Homo-oligomer: A and B are copies of this chain.
């Protein structure tokens, strides 16, 4: 239901670089990157400035036409894919890709929403700093998308998710007004924190157009180790021991079960086991020291030596060089790819309190495998964040249809376990479209009502990324006899 006059006004405002209604040009951005969610859009809008974004939002708000903000289109939850109606327009931030300021003295960078994460990494390295958040999609993911989804990754342990790294934001609100909150104030008690509302808001309350980001010193040296051990409990004890011995030098602590390592070794060419014997559980550790500081290797060596002595660790190896370090990381980073080749799986991105995670992994895995005979749980990832990817592989021989049938029941069952443990059914990937029904089913009614009220208050016409994050309220009278 896109009126032609609106398209003409948008086209005139944005010019040929900023506007297309050509279905061929739109198509790749109208589906999610895995090709599982296919939508349609009346136009692809690509403003080049905050003022252009503001005008686009205002015009669409007046015409009640929905907008789907989009960065690198790497959402794991179909959070940036329009629905199939073709009513919406995609609002791409990719042309807003300037780093407006980069200041090594104040350790801050002001980036427009379309700046690609890997480009920011390069720019900060050139001034002896780094932006300490990274993830697999860094070559496409944008600062705006990372901020809107409160992205995490493999370095959250020390520096936190996007939420803790964002010092200020600029955003266009759903009526087209611009809020400039870019100044990095350490203390500011002037009322409700809009920044924290928009971060993780998945574009449903407005469009983040720029962010002021915290930088940290560049890495001087890193030391990467692979450890074999018996239980997730021992892994958590090892993490606590390393933190006590090495302070915050440990930046990554990734848990890998034997079944995941075996899958990688079987399916990913050129990989080999780091340790002589297989172990029920493995941990990949990266310790880091800043420029001009001593390498963390000696401290890591001593701590691991002590862990081997007390039996906390069964075996351990420290990468002898960068190539070996990369090989260790490749084992961790290849798990998703190896899983894909091994057959269908129901995947869950869950969190519980850190201390509760080993027990959840033991008992939750046993419960799922007993309730769904033949399945096997592959739980791996960010143990130190209380966040693992709790994936359930289909029984041997199951076809791709398993995912939509039995897999859906497995997901409900696994999510019920998570909620019973006080955890979250979306630790880092967000809700998007994919987890909307599960969120509606499992969220505390008080919280759900508050979420809906906030959405309705700030976006009264429902034009900002509709159908994402906030489950629609039940129709009046639904479920009653009226």
Contact of A424 among B180, B190, B429 (CB under 8 A): B190
A188 contacts B424, C-beta separation under 8 Å: yes
A467 to chain B, nearest CB (A): 14
A426 to chain B, nearest CB (A): 5
Residue of B nearest to A106 (CB): B355
A192 contacts B444, C-beta separation under 8 Å: no
Whole-angstrom distance between the alpha carbons of A414 and B132 in the complex?
37
Instruction: Tell yes or no: A395 within 8 A of B by CB.
Output: no
Instruction: Tell yes or no: A430 within 8 A of B by CB.
Output: yes
Chain B neighbourhood of A387, CB < 8 A: 186-187
Residue of B nearest to A157 (CB): B186
Chain A, range 216-258, C-beta contacts under 8 Å to B: none
Chain A, range 148-194, C-beta contacts under 8 Å to B: 149-150, 152, 156, 161, 163-164, 173, 175, 177-181, 183-194
Chain B neighbourhood of A105, CB < 8 A: 355
A368 to chain B, nearest CB (A): 21
B447 contacts A458, C-beta separation under 8 Å: no
- Beyond A205-B192, A427-B189, whether A445 also contacts B106 by CB under 8 A is no
- Beyond A106-B354, A179-B446, whether A200 also contacts B194 by CB under 8 A is no
A78 to chain B, nearest CB (A): 14
Chain B neighbourhood of A197, CB < 8 A: 192-193, 196-197, 454
B425 contacts A183, C-beta separation under 8 Å: no
A191 contacts B386, C-beta separation under 8 Å: no
Instruction: Tell yes or no: A457 within 8 A of B by CB.
Output: yes
Whole-angstrom distance between the alpha carbons of A355 and B387 in the complex?
36
A194 to chain B, nearest CB (A): 6
Contact of A385 among B173, B181, B187, B422 (CB under 8 A): B187
Residue of B nearest to A179 (CB): B446
Interface string of A411-451 (1 = CB under 8 A from B): 00000000000111111111100000001000111110111
A156 contacts B187, C-beta separation under 8 Å: yes
Contact of A446 among B173, B188, B355 (CB under 8 A): B173
**Closest 5 pairs (CB-CB, A-B):** A457-B457, A196-B196, A177-B446, A183-B422, A453-B457
Chain A residues at the B interface, C-beta cutoff of 8 Å: 105-106, 149-150, 152, 156, 161, 163-164, 173, 175, 177-181, 183-194, 196-197, 199-201, 205, 351-355, 382, 385-387, 422-431, 439, 443-447, 449-451, 453-458, 469-470
- Pairs across A and B, CB under 8 Å, 24 listed: A105-B355, A106-B354, A177-B449, A179-B444, A180-B444, A184-B353, A185-B351, A187-B351, A188-B351, A188-B424, A189-B200, A189-B428, A190-B439, A191-B200, A191-B439, A191-B451, A191-B470, A192-B200, A192-B450, A193-B199, A193-B200, A197-B454, A454-B454, A456-B457
